[in-house]
Amino acid sequence: MKRIVKLIAVFATLVVVLIACGSSSSSSPKSSGTSSGSGSGKLSILAWPGYAENGSTSKDTDWVTPFEKQSGCNTTVKTFGTSDEAFQLFNTGQYDVVSASGDSSLRSVANGDAAVIDTAKVTTYADLADFLKAKAWNSVDGKIYGVPHGWGANLLMYNETAVTPAPTSWGAVFEANSPYKGKVTAYDSPIYIADAALYLSKTKADLGITNPYSLDEEQFSAAVELLKQQKPNIGEYWSDYLKEQEGFTKGSLVLGTTWQVITNGVKADTASPPVNAIIPSEGSTAWSDSWMVSTKSKNVDCAYKWINWITSPSVQAQVAEYFGEAPANLKACTETSDKDFCTTYHAEDKAFYDQLAFWTTPTAKCLDGRSDVTCKAYKDWTAAWDEIKGS
Amino acid sequence: MYLSSSARWALRAFTALVLIVLYAPIVYVARLSVNTARNYAWPPRGFTFEWWQKAFHETGPREALLHSVQTGLTATAIALVLGTLAAFALTRAKFFGRNAVSLFIVLPIALPGIVTGIALLSGFERVGITVSFSTLVVAHATFCVVIVYNNAAARLRRLSPNLREASADLGAEGWQTFRLVTFPLMRTALVAGGLLAFALSFDEIIVTTFTAGIGYKTLPLWFADNFSRPNAIPTVNVVATFVVLASVIPVWLAQRLTDRPGSAV
Amino acid sequence: MTEPSAPQVHGVRRRVARFFARHPRAALGAQLSAPGGWLLIIYIGSLAALILTSLFRLVDDPTGLVTKLDTSIGFGNFDRVISQPVYRAVALRTLGAAATVTVIDAVIALPLAFYMGKVASQRARRMLVVAVTLPLWAGYLVKGYAWRALLDPGGGAFQEVFGHSLGFGYASSIVVLAYLWFPFMVIPLYAGFDRLPDSLLEASTDLGAKAGRTFVSVVVPQIVPSLVAGSIFTFSLTLGDFYMNRIVGGTTEFIGNIVYRQFSVDLPFAAAYAVIPIVIMVGLLLAVRRTGALDEL
């Protein structure tokens, strides 16, 4: 019995030591978010991974702690993996701000979760690229609901050795008898249906698709059919970008939709085969993220402080380089550590931008202005995505 | 049972083979934690302690580890109390509805995590509770109860009722009997149950995804977060290896505590 | 051994004790109220709420911009689950995986647990128990990603060493899930073998049974409860899994993937689809209750 007691004592001690180690770390301001700064403000951020880094991933990646120090707002960060999660979490009212992509922003607005932005309080607003402001995905009826954060295009990436001739059309990923069967990839989200619709809008004119996010019954089923035809060729769908990067590096994927940051990652790896990323002849879909403030927020002051902070040139440069996207604040272009960064990401390239169809939440009321038909709402897109992926 | 020596050897070889398969991925991760390349490419290349050093200075994994231990200990403590009470009630008395109750107790572990997760989250939301450390602990304790319950109940079933009667005859009241007779005899079963409950809580991710509070990352959530980030893979491997190495202590201790011929009943 | 000295406390306690001794039902009620209340209110309450939600539906708001929850009771969601082939296919695929994983684990765990419980020396036994429990601490996701690296068709270990890999797909999901849940099968089985009296096996041998015969006719029936307990774990864990498909499953989807996706878009439908595993597991539990397996979990 004595030995047992001793063993328990040893174990208990270890646990206590472990906890002591831990709590000594959590008493530091960075990780706990409970101290530092002078004010008593609070802020709860809902963000894509990589948008609001507080040093919990890596000590060197941290622009939340300096914000806490500067603003006095104690900040907690919750990340989400998909726009659906973002929408659902933001709806709980526990978060003051969210970095919303276009495929969730309108839903939040219509749901009454997002507040109208007082642009006068956004000190950086004038510096943000004009082509990102007051767009379909961050404004409704002329009211601004989102402050642009950054954007990127969904490009077509291919392995230059394996894929010949080099593709120029999205047709390459939708081909029925693809020679690259099992090595094609696509973005894992219902919003990817828009990629098929965009392709059809240029190749099947009789469908009359003018906006890939505004699809009536017939247009929608054509897009869904195309994706079902594509499914057998898909090796893996991706939603976290390391997965795709790894696939291209190792050669298990050779063709599919991508983001600039992934392409950069593949190119940076010396062991990778040569890859190229293009905007095909049909154009591309794209994402543009905006910061939105919750209607239920009790910390509106801190929310605006955060928006001013995250859209300021130096922080924009940090986020953009860490995440790999075009910054919304063009003044950030002079502050990036890579001087060509904004060129690589086409941050100031209006012509590039005009080829893009930015993610917008599909709603039953057609976004392209048609009033004689009902369009497919996002919940129908999700049901169709079940059907495409589950089959 | 008589086994031919060739049968014994076959069993031994089979066991060895199973253990190799069981450990191969873990050894691979441990090897990668000292790999020079940052990715999972085969074969592993080079040797460096750089990642261990870096990981040691990171607060993220340490905090996640602390959170997992906090959650696990609290949930296990609750489960120990509730599970023991339930075991007493259900092994000693026969009453109407006993079968239904014993079925309810196993439900949280028998139903898939995704069901438990969304049920609890929508339940919390319905009554206006926002997710926090408490909801996480409540969720974990709920599926840990059955583990403690089954260990405690198995032991109680094997305890002779004579012991209780003897204790009562000697003038002990219920609490004294529990404290001086029953509890010491149940202790090893509670240790085993508690450890298993802690282990389950420690590695749980699906229910955790739904019920953890904002910014409160347990170790599995931290892993999930970091698998989708550039350059974090080596740190993940280090932390995983460290946890396996560190877990030898509680596992071995529990083994010593529960498998000693003298202490078992 | 020091007893509480304050006689008053002692007296109160004595009175309480006497009360409970005279009223065993009250004692039972007191013991059961905490765990019973906890499970009933928190868990069963939540499950009931979930099932209730599955009878609601989402409808398009007149503005056409948003969907709203319609809380009138209906079976539309279940209709959809049953009538749309994809949801049936996914459910069957998940069930198939759960059954296969369970069989694989049982076939491998039986001889191993037998060796651990009945053949190995006391010392080896202790080490083996530690050895099969330890992998549980390595982190589910970490092991998943390690398997991903091993299975990778583009230069993973299997590809490089054996020249062939399963790649990412349904088969890989099954293999990796069987690997992950293996300890949950071995532990109850080992406990079952450990409890099996040696005398029983000796008697069988004395009566002339060969080892194989003894194993099939004497050992297996005795450990059925443990086997069922282990199977409940492997079956249920597979039934609810969705992470591994993302890691090694290629384009495979299980019930969990769909519930997870629909949860944030169409909660009533997600709830309806989640009722499938609830029905399956409750049915399974009721079916095996008589074997005594529930005590072995």
Domain parsing of chain C, residue ranges: 7-70, 79-296
Q: What is the distance in angstroms between the Cα of A67 and the nearest Cα belonging to chain C? A: 31
**Token pair in block for residue C114:** 């037998």
Q: Does A387 touch chain C (CB under 8 A)?
A: yes
- Rounded to the nearest angstrom, the minimum Cα separation between C242 and chain B is 8
> Residues 62-101, chain C: which have Cβ within 8 Å of B?
none
CB A81 within 8 A of CB A189: no
| C258: phi then psi, degrees, rounded to nearest 5 | -70, -45
Q: DSSP 3-state assignment of A327? A: strand
- Cα torsion angle, A316, A318, A319, A322, sign: positive
| Percent residues over pLDDT 90 in chain A | 60
Q: Please report the pLDDT score of residue A189 as a whole number.
A: 92
pLDDT of A38 strictly over 60: no
pLDDT at C96 > cutoff 60: yes
* Token pair of B247 as six digits: 């877990």
* Confidence label for B18 from pLDDT (cuts 50, 70 and 90): very high
Select from A11, A22, A56 the Cβ nearest to the Cβ of B250.
A11
pLDDT at C204: 78
Condensed to tens digits (0 to 9), the pLDDT of residues B67-109 reads: 999 999 999 999 999 999 988 888 776 666 777 777 888 889 8
pLDDT at B230: 64
Predicted pLDDT at A106: 85
Is the pLDDT at C48 greater than 90? The verdict is: yes
In angstroms, the separation between the Cα of residue C283 and the nearest Cα of chain B is 11
- The 10s digit of each residue's pLDDT in C158-180 is 888 888 888 899 999 999 999 99
- How distant is the Cα of B31 from the closest Cα of chain A, in angstroms? 19
Tell whether the model's pLDDT for residue B184 goes beyond 70. yes
Chains in contact with A, where contact requires at least 3 CB pairs less than 8 Å apart:
B, C
Q: Which amino acid is at B222?
A: W
Long-range contacts for C154-163 (Cβ within 8 Å, ≥24 apart)? C154/A247, C154/A250, C154/A251, C154/A252, C154/A253, C155/A250, C155/A251, C155/B41, C155/B42, C156/A250, C156/B42, C157/B28, C157/B42, C157/B43, C159/B42, C160/B42, C160/B43
Query: Which chain B residue has its CA at the smallest distance from A262's CA?
Result: B230
For the domain spanning B61-258, the CATH number is 1.10.3720.10
Closest CA to B59 of A55, C149, C95, C267: A55
Strand A41-47 and strand A73-79: pairing? Answer: parallel
CA distance A274 to A15: 50
pLDDT band per the 50, 70, 90 thresholds, residue B265: very low
Average pLDDT over residues C44-56: 93
The pLDDT of residue A36 is 37
Q: What is the pLDDT of residue B119?
A: 94
- Whether C90 and chain A come into contact, CB under 8 Å, resolves to yes
Amino acid identity of residue C222, one-letter, is Q
The rounded distance, in Å, linking the Cα atoms of B254 and A7 is: 9
- This prediction's pTM: 0.86
Across the interface, of A19, A78, A269, the residue whose CB is closest to B69 is A19
DSSP annotation of A127 reads G
- Cα A43 from Cα A28, distance rounded (Å): 18
pLDDT digits (tens, 9 = 90+) for C26-43: 777 777 788 888 888 889
For residue B261, what pLDDT is reported? 43
Whats the size of chain C, residue-wise? 297
Q: How far does CA C122 lie from the centroid of its chain?
A: 29
CATH 3.30.420.40 for domain A29-150+288-343, yes or no, is no
At A228, the amino acid letter reads K
Q: Is A85's Cβ below 8 Å from some Cβ in C?
A: yes
Fold designation for A155-258+361-390 = D-Maltodextrin-Binding Protein; domain 2 (3.40.190)
Mean pLDDT, rounded, of chain A: 87
Find the CB nearest C149 among B40, B81, B124.
Answer: B40
Start and end residues for every CATH 3.40.190.10 domain found in chain A: 29-150+288-343, 155-258+361-390
Residue C1 has pLDDT above 60, yes or no: no
- Report domain extents, chain B: 61-258
Alpha-carbon distance of A16 to A19, in angstroms, equals: 5
Least confident of B119-128, B175-184, C72-81: B175-184
Residues whose CB falls within 8 Å of the CB of residue C232, separated by 6 or more in sequence, listed in order? B110, C284, C285, C288, C293, C297
What gap in Å lies between CA A50 and CA A152, rounded to an integer?
14
Identity of the residue in C60, C168, C269 whose CB atom sits nearest the CB atom of A364 = C60
On the question of a cis peptide bond just before residue C35, with omega within 30 degrees of 0, the verdict is no
- Nearest-angstrom CA–CA distance, B73 and B224: 22
Amino acid identity for residue C294 in this structure: L
Burial (CB count <10 Å: 0-12, 13-18, 19+), residue B160:
exposed
Comparing alpha-carbon positions, the chain A residue that sits nearest to B62 is A22
Give the minimum alpha-carbon distance from A138 to chain B in angstroms, rounded to a whole number.
25
- Could you tell me the sign of the dihedral formed by the alpha carbons of C100, C102, C105, C111, in that order? negative
Mutate to test the interface with A, among C57, C264, C267 (most CBs of A within 10 A): C264
**Model pLDDT, residue A144:** 95
Residue with tokens 């995905």: A137
Rounded Cα distance, B262 and C3, in Å: 27
- Residue A229, chain C, CB below 8 Å: the answer is no
d(Cα A184, Cα A257) in Å, to the nearest integer?
A: 9
CA gap B227, C148 in Å, rounded: 12
Shortest CA distance to A287 belongs to which of A148, A388, A170? A148
Please check whether residue A162 touches C, CB under 8 A: no
Nearest alpha carbon to residue C94 among C267, C260, C285? C260
Asked if B258 and C129 touch (Cβ cutoff 8 Å), the reply is no
Q: How far apart are CA B56 and CA B53, in angstroms?
A: 5
Instruction: Indicate yes or no: CB of C135 within 8 angstroms of CB of B23.
Output: yes
**Nearest beta carbon to residue C265 from set A84, A237, A389:** A84
Chain A interface includes C242 (CB < 8 A): no
User: Do C216 and C111 touch, CB atoms closer than 8 A?
Assistant: no
Residue C279 pLDDT grade (very low, low, confident, very high; cuts 50, 70, 90)? very high
Q: Do B147 and C297 touch (CB under 8 A)?
A: yes
> Most confidently modeled of A128-142, A221-235, B113-127?
A221-235
Question: What is the nearest CA distance from C64 to chain A, expressed in angstroms?
Answer: 4
Interchain contact, C35 vs B26, CB within 8 Å: no
From CA A294, how far away is CA A115, in angstroms rounded?
6
pLDDT, residue B225, reads: 83
- Other beta carbons within 10 angstroms of residue C24's beta carbon come to 12
Distance (Å, whole) CA B33 – CA B38: 9
Query: For C174-191, what is the mean pLDDT?
Result: 94
Q: Which CATH number fits domain C79-296: 3.10.105.10, 1.10.10.10, 3.30.590.20, 1.10.3720.10?
A: 1.10.3720.10
Up-side HSE of residue A67: CA atoms within 13 Å toward CB?
A: 33
**C257-264 — which CB contacts under 8 Å span 24+ positions?**
C257/A389, C257/C90, C258/A386, C258/A390, C258/C87, C258/C90, C259/B114, C259/B115, C259/B118, C260/B114, C261/A84, C261/A382, C261/A385, C261/A386, C262/A382, C262/A386, C263/A88, C263/B118, C264/A82, C264/A84, C264/A85, C264/A87, C264/A88, C264/A89
Cβ-based contacts of B229 with chain A (< 8 Å)? 49-50, 57, 242
Flag if C261 and A84 touch (Cβ within 8 Å): yes
Closest partner residue to B1 among C211, C236, C267, by Cβ? C211
Judged by CB atoms closer than 8 Å, whether chains meet at A265 and B230 is answered as: yes
